[in-house]
Amino acid sequence: MAINVRGLFLCMKYEIEQMLTQGSGAIVNTSSIVGLIALPGASPYVASKHAVMGLTRSAALDYAKQGIRINAVNPGSIATEAFDRTLMKMGITADALTAMVPIGRIAQAEEVAQVVVFLCSDAASYITGQPFAIDGGYTAS
């Protein structure tokens, strides 16, 4: 399922409006590792995730001087019920997919949440316009 990039743009418009009023803020968009790489047979999905990254980077440059930081998380495989259903539909076993991840396991949703919390914190005050792959090393090669 491709993300509605127009919807994301509208959400960011109102977030940015509030952040301009308060003088600062942090936005973390959710893309995917396919916002950084390609995946055969999934062109519409890949295109939508690349669009999220383009929007993230451009908006980050547009609003950096106003104290608004905009970044993105790019998760790989995350252990969820939806993930399990997708694997079953595709006829892929969890073991086969896990074997493709250098760290040797599938991520937990909490691991993505921890990166989002970091990016929203003062500890990330000098980071904007960046993708954060949370993929166990999959995109490192």
Question: In the prediction, which pLDDT does 135 show?
Answer: 97
Distances in Å between the Cα of 92 and the Cα atoms of 88, 108, 137 are 6, 19, 20
Tokens 């980071």 found at: 127
Is there a catalytic annotation at residue 138?
no
Question: In the prediction, which pLDDT does 4 show?
Answer: 67
Answer for the pair 52, 5: CB distance below 8 angstroms, yes or no.
yes
From CA 2, how far away is CA 49, in angstroms rounded? 8
Q: Write down all domains in the chain, each with its CATH number in brackets.
A: 5-140 (3.40.50.720)
Answer for the pair 28, 60: CB distance below 8 angstroms, yes or no.
no
Full pLDDT tens readout for the chain, 141 residues: 445 667 878 889 999 999 999 999 999 999 999 999 998 988 999 999 999 999 999 999 999 999 999 999 999 999 999 888 888 888 888 888 899 999 999 999 999 999 999 999 999 999 999 999 999 999 997
User: Which of 45, 63, 126, 138 is the catalytic position?
Assistant: 45
DSSP tag of 93: -
The pTM for the full model equals: 0.91
Question: In the prediction, which pLDDT does 83 show?
Answer: 85
Question: In the prediction, which pLDDT does 33 show?
Answer: 96
